[in-house]
Structure 1
Amino acid sequence: MKLTFWAALWIFLIDQISKFIVVQWMDLKTVGAIDVLPPLLNFRMAWNTGINFGLFSTAPWVLIGLATGIVVAVIIWVWREQSVGKWGYISAGLLVGGALGNVIDRIVYGAVADFLNMACCGIDNPFAFNVADISIFAGALGLIFFTGEKAPKT
């Protein structure tokens, strides 16, 4: 469980610090766009008030409660699970830290601050994301691949 705590803490800090630097210090909230390494990496301000397809965009408290519930469920699950292993604990920490980072955004800003935009090979990507989103995705995949019953040796 220590690995889960430390992974969650570091992801949370990296997410919040990166958002502060880009959104506040670099003033992306006002500027709207900063080309970093076009077209590979750009900062594009996007305030995400909902989830996919705008669901729950008018009820942020639902998303805060849902994310908090998932965090609690993941922590309880990895605490009880016997076959999590090092990478499972780290994966849980990635998911928890990212989810808490986005919860703080919803509380502070009323929306999640997304700013990373990547494109390649002539494909224009209109979507933006943040460190927490990457972490949540990686943590969920890690929990799928690194937890569960181990196959018995034959």
Structure 2
Amino acid sequence: MPHFPVNHPARPVYRALSALVGLYILVFGVWGTALTWGEPLFARDGSWALGLRTNLAFSLVSVIFGVVLIVGASRSNNLGHYMNLTAGVVFLVTSILMMAVLQTSANFLNFSMSTVIVSMVFGLILFGTGVYDKVGPEEHAEAERNRRYHPVAEIHRRR
């Protein structure tokens, strides 16, 4: 079973970080939608918003993702934990797949290399915030701390 810290002391910082990522994605999506409105959904022209290449489809998806991330960051339960873990994986997988088709006609979201890099960075940030954003009863948090500082764990750390 994976180890996710429960009630991490820096949890508010991680929630704020995921909210900032969500806010950037939302603003990017709204800006991109305004710039590409009236163009074909999967156009592959030179439309840029906030330093990233986009089309109407990518902008609309970004609006949805931005709202979802902000909602997840505003919740004080494990919803944000699971949403950030999932969004982190989605961003990482999407960036790798889009990098693989960057110079082909399969680049239907009109990604550029800068978009791939930003998506990877956002994926890593969201995955990291998801790992440390788990909430639980104090008993679970205490059990995690005891497991982390168990004498057997101390022996393995010294090696």
Q: Which has a greater percent of helix? A: 2
TM class, shorter-length: 0.3 to 0.5
| Greater C-alpha radius of gyration | 2
Q: Which has a greater percent of strand? A: 1
- Give the TM-score taking structure 1 as reference length: 0.34
- Give the TM-score taking structure 2 as reference length: 0.33
